[in-house]
């Protein structure tokens, strides 16, 4: 018993002293359904971490607590803080994203619903490619016809239907009436897509949730196992859960010892199926639920909070739970509204202001520039590089999404799950004169030969009959590749995943890389990082799952983390973070709110996003609104964002910038 140990750091935590009244009430809540409405900057993470510590101090074991988060980053931070507070190492907890937990449980018990032990996970772009292929197989002309939606959009529709537990036909009727003429065909594509994944034994992101729910629903014995194990279920960012996730939570926490923590004003993922209703109807689904409101804000100056509260007042009324953030800090400078000529001057203004702040002693890492969409930061990035100011950008191509990483991961996937045709096609299509069609044909042939000769598909790859069909130009590489795969496959169970990765890097791909990319040397470094990453895992299935699920872990190639650097990030990715000084750029109609949201009448979510943006600021907040954008060759005039014009004038101060000083 952990709590009985008098030396445990748990015993020395003074909950009363460490928490305010509101937080204390939530942290020490009696077992039972609880909805914690924690406003921005109110110490939400602190509350959750202390809740975990409190439960432990009541005698619970770490593995009896399930901690669900929305992003990997949040999971990592939360567990680190729990470890810090309680001294109990993070790995002892069941904590992570829904997808992560899904993966973990399915790897244990997936066979009960017909999953292979060796299933591999495909990421979004793999899934889109797979769907394109399915569509082309069924109707080769479909994607060529300009009247038809692109595979990417179709994939989004499918995903949305699955995440919201809506039958596809219903979703199409309601949201896509203009695709009525192909709805039957889309249904067929969906069915074929599902079949194809089953055949290849691959799961997409949605499967990790869907199959988990299915497992829990269809196998009561297994469900009971987890229901009994997890004495308490804690959910972070509950406002951003979708119906599929909420069903999982309700099932895993059928004992109603669920604590859902969230802020409905910060729901910014409806496009991914996040459902406001989850948080609004929580008390109905869990009778006796107690609502805890935490509204005391420790982050921002009263000036910034006044503006934030002002933002919430023009939210349309249906958005339930009313809340007003209460300030604890003393007054600071007023938030600034900065109308500015164009995006270039916007960049120059920021740089000038930053150098001023820097001289005042503000560290670069305390300054963030937030934007709605990645490309809004282009000018700024150029200007920053020109002035040699170091910045850290959480965006763009993620480390694990780079072509060369994916090529190597595809080889690992194929080794682990030889049914994963998609993976094979990916790396073998790299060879000259080999495209998707040829790759698939060759693999089918190899599979056939392997069966006839009672050997593995890896051995069959350089069978003479296969080699005869390999295009002349690709022959040499093909033999290299086949040999590498054989070598790796033979050692798959004997060596660690890291050693397998090493074999792959040092054999075919390492050489081939040099013919593929001009900057192969930098990419070689990335592969070395991958090798290092692989060292953390003992099991190939686990490594592969993490590679796909952790794809937000960005490359640290460009910036050394310890270095003092400016932070550039989308608002979505800034959620949960705080900075002394925040610049929100591109506050113009069609940029923020973005055009699409205006056209689709989806302004509420943009507004919540704006709310998230302004509540990141601790001391200073700058709202920048360019009057013009240089989109391609033709400049476009912009109106100031309705979010700014809608604010009451006393909540900000206008800063006029006449002309740049250089």
**Cβ at position 546, least distance to DNA in Å:** 11
**500 contacts: CB under 8 Å, gap ≥ 6:** 412, 415, 488, 491, 492, 534, 540
**Cβ at position 630, least distance to DNA in Å:** 11
Give the Å distances, CA to CA, from 244 to 73, 110, 114, 160, 267: 21, 18, 20, 10, 16
Contact pattern from residue 184 through residue 223 relative to DNA, giving x for each residue in contact according to CB under 7 A and a dash for the rest? ---------------------xx-----------------
Report DSSP letters for 519-530, one per residue: THHHHHHHHHHH
Structure tokens at 438: 């040829």
Map the footprint of DNA across residues 466-485, applying CB under 7 A: none
Structure tokens at 152: 């990417």
**Cβ at position 570, least distance to DNA in Å:** 4
Query: Could you say whether residue 641 binds DNA (CB under 7 A)?
Result: no
**Cβ at position 115, least distance to DNA in Å:** 18
Measured from the CB atom, is 432 or 646 closer to DNA?
432
Measured from the CB atom, is 175 or 572 closer to DNA?
572
Q: Which of 16, 199, 272, 386 binds DNA (CB under 7 A)?
A: 272
Q: Which of 68, 307, 597, 612 binds DNA (CB under 7 A)?
A: 597
Query: Could you say whether residue 433 binds DNA (CB under 7 A)?
Result: yes
Query: Could you say whether residue 549 binds DNA (CB under 7 A)?
Result: yes
Query: Could you say whether residue 552 binds DNA (CB under 7 A)?
Result: yes
Query: Could you say whether residue 241 binds DNA (CB under 7 A)?
Result: no
Q: Which of 191, 199, 437, 536 binds DNA (CB under 7 A)?
A: 437
Interhelix angle 403-416/497-506, rounded to 10 degrees, is: 120
Query: Could you say whether residue 109 binds DNA (CB under 7 A)?
Result: no
Query: Could you say whether residue 175 binds DNA (CB under 7 A)?
Result: no
Q: Which of 392, 422, 438, 651 binds DNA (CB under 7 A)?
A: 438
Piece of the chain touching DNA by CB under 7 A; list 26-34, 46-54, 430-438, 495-503: 430-438
**Cβ at position 30, least distance to DNA in Å:** 32
Query: Could you say whether residue 178 binds DNA (CB under 7 A)?
Result: no
424 touches 439 (CB < 8 A): yes
373 touches 570 (CB < 8 A): yes
Measured from the CB atom, is 338 or 609 closer to DNA?
609
**Cβ at position 144, least distance to DNA in Å:** 6
**Cβ at position 420, least distance to DNA in Å:** 18
Report the alpha-carbon distance of residue 653 to residue 335 in Å, rounded. Answer: 6
Q: Which of 150, 199, 536, 557 binds DNA (CB under 7 A)?
A: 150
Q: 3-state class of 406 per DSSP?
A: helix
**Cβ at position 124, least distance to DNA in Å:** 4
39 touches 611 (CB < 8 A): no
Measured from the CB atom, is 71 or 309 closer to DNA?
71
Map the footprint of DNA across residues 358-397, applying CB under 7 A: 372-375, 395, 397
Measured from the CB atom, is 144 or 468 closer to DNA?
144
Query: Could you say whether residue 594 binds DNA (CB under 7 A)?
Result: yes
**Cβ at position 274, least distance to DNA in Å:** 10
Query: Could you say whether residue 436 binds DNA (CB under 7 A)?
Result: yes
Nearest C-alpha neighbor of 370 from the set 399, 388, 346, 386? 346
**Cβ at position 319, least distance to DNA in Å:** 18
**Cβ at position 75, least distance to DNA in Å:** 9
Structure tokens at 135: 């569509």
What separation, in Å, do the N-terminal and C-terminal C-alpha atoms of the chain show? 68
> What is the largest distance, in Å, between two alpha-carbon atoms of the chain?
81
Query: Could you say whether residue 424 binds DNA (CB under 7 A)?
Result: no
Give the Å distances, CA to CA, from 371 to 194, 392, 528, 588: 36, 14, 33, 11
Q: What is the DSSP letter of 333?
A: P
Report the alpha-carbon distance of residue 518 to residue 423 in Å, rounded. Answer: 24
Q: How far is CA 343 from the centre of its chain?
A: 28
CB atoms within 10 A of CB 657: 17
Nearest C-alpha neighbor of 202 from the set 410, 477, 55, 468? 410
Piece of the chain touching DNA by CB under 7 A; list 77-85, 218-226, 327-335, 589-597: 589-597
Q: How many residues does the chain have?
A: 662
Query: Could you say whether residue 73 binds DNA (CB under 7 A)?
Result: yes
**Given its phi and psi angles, is residue 230 left (phi above 0), alpha (psi -120 to 50 degrees) or beta?**
beta
Query: Could you say whether residue 570 binds DNA (CB under 7 A)?
Result: yes
Structure tokens at 326: 């209460």
Measured from the CB atom, is 297 or 570 closer to DNA?
570
Query: Could you say whether residue 573 binds DNA (CB under 7 A)?
Result: yes
**412 contacts: CB under 8 Å, gap ≥ 6:** 497, 500, 501, 504, 540, 543, 544, 547
**210 contacts: CB under 8 Å, gap ≥ 6:** 162, 244
Residue ranges in contact with DNA by CB under 7 A: 70-73, 97-100, 123-125, 128, 143-144, 150-152, 205-206, 268-269, 271-272, 372-375, 395, 397, 429, 432-439, 549, 551-552, 570, 572-573, 594, 596-597, 631-632
């Amino acid at each position: 018993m952990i709590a009985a140990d008098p030396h445990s750091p748990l015993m020395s935590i003074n909950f009363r002293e460490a928490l305010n009244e509101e937080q204390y009430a939530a942290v020490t809540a009696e077992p039972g359904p609880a909805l914690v409405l924690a406003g921005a900057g109110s110490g939400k993470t602190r509350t959750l971490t202390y809740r975990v510590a409190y439960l432990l101090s009541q005698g619970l074991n770490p593995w009896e607590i399930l901690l669900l988060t929305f992003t990997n980053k949040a999971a990592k931070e939360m567990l680190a803080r729990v470890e810090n507070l309680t001294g109990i190492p993070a790995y002892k907890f069941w904590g992570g994203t829904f997808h992560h937990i899904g993966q973990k449980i399915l790897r244990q018990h997936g066979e009960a619903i017909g999953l292979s032990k060796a299933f591999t996970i495909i990421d979004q772009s793999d899934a889109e490619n797979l769907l394109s292929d399915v569509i082309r197989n069924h109707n080769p002309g479909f994607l060529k016809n300009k009247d038809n939606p692109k595979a990417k959009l179709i994939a989004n529709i499918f995903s949305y239907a699955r995440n919201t537990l809506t039958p596809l036909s219903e979703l199409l009727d309601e949201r896509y009436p203009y695709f009525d003429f192909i709805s039957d065909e889309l249904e067929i594509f969906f069915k074929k897509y599902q079949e194809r994944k089953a055949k290849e034994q691959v799961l997409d992101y949605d499967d990790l949730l869907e199959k988990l729910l299915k497992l829990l629903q269809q196998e009561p014995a297994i469900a009971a196992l987890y229901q009994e194990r997890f004495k308490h279920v804690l959910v972070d960012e509950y406002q951003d859960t979708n119906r599929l996730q909420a069903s999982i939570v309700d099932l895993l926490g059928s004992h109603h010892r669920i604590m859902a923590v969230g802020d409905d004003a910060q729901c910014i993922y409806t496009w991914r199926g996040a459902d406001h209703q989850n948080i609004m109807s929580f008390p109905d689904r869990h009778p006796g639920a107690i609502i805890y409101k935490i509204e005391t804000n420790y982050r921002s100056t009263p000036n910034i909070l006044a503006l934030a509260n002002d933002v919430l007042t023009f939210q349309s009324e249906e958005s339930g739970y009313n809340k007003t953030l209460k300030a604890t800090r003393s007054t600071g400078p007023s938030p600034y509204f900065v109308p500015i000529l164009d995006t270039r001057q916007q960049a120059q203004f920021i740089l000038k202001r930053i150098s001023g702040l820097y001289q005042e002693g503000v560290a670069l890492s305390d300054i963030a520039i937030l934007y709605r969409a990645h490309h809004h930061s282009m000018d700024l990035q150029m200007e920053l590089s020109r002035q040699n100011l170091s910045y850290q950008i959480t965006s763009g191509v993620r480390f694990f999404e780079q072509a060369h990483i994916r090529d190597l991961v595809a080889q690992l996937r194929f080794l682990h799950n030889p049914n994963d045709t998609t993976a094979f096609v990916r790396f073998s299509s790299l060879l000259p004169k080999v495209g998707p069609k040829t790759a698939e044909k060759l693999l089918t042939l190899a599979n056939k030969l392997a069966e006839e000769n009672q050997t593995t598909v890896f051995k069959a790859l350089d069978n003479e009959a296969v080699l005869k069909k390999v295009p002349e130009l690709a022959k040499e590489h093909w033999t290299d590749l086949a040999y590498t795969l054989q070598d790796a496959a033979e050692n798959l169970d004997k060596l660690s995943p890291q050693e397998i990765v090493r074999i792959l890097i040092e054999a075919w791909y390492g050489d081939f890389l040099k013919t593929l990319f001009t900057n192969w040397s930098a990419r070689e470094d990335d592969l070395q990082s991958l090798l290092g990453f692989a060292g953390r895992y003992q099991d190939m299935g686990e490594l592969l799952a993490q590679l796909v699920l952790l794809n937000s872990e960005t490359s640290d190639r460009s910036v050394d983390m310890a270095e003092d650097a400016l932070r550039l990030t989308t608002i979505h990715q800034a959620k949960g973070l705080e900075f002394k000084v925040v610049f929100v750029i591109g506050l113009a109609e069609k940029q923020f709110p973005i055009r699409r949201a205006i056209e689709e009448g989806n302004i509420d979510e943009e507004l919540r996003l704006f709310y998230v943006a302004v509540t990141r600021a601790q001391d200073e907040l700058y709202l920048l609104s360019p009057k013009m954008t240089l989109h391609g060759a033709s400049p476009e005039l912009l109106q100031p964002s309705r979010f700014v014009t809608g604010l009451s004038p006393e909540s900000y101060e206008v800063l006029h910038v006449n002309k740049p000083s250089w």
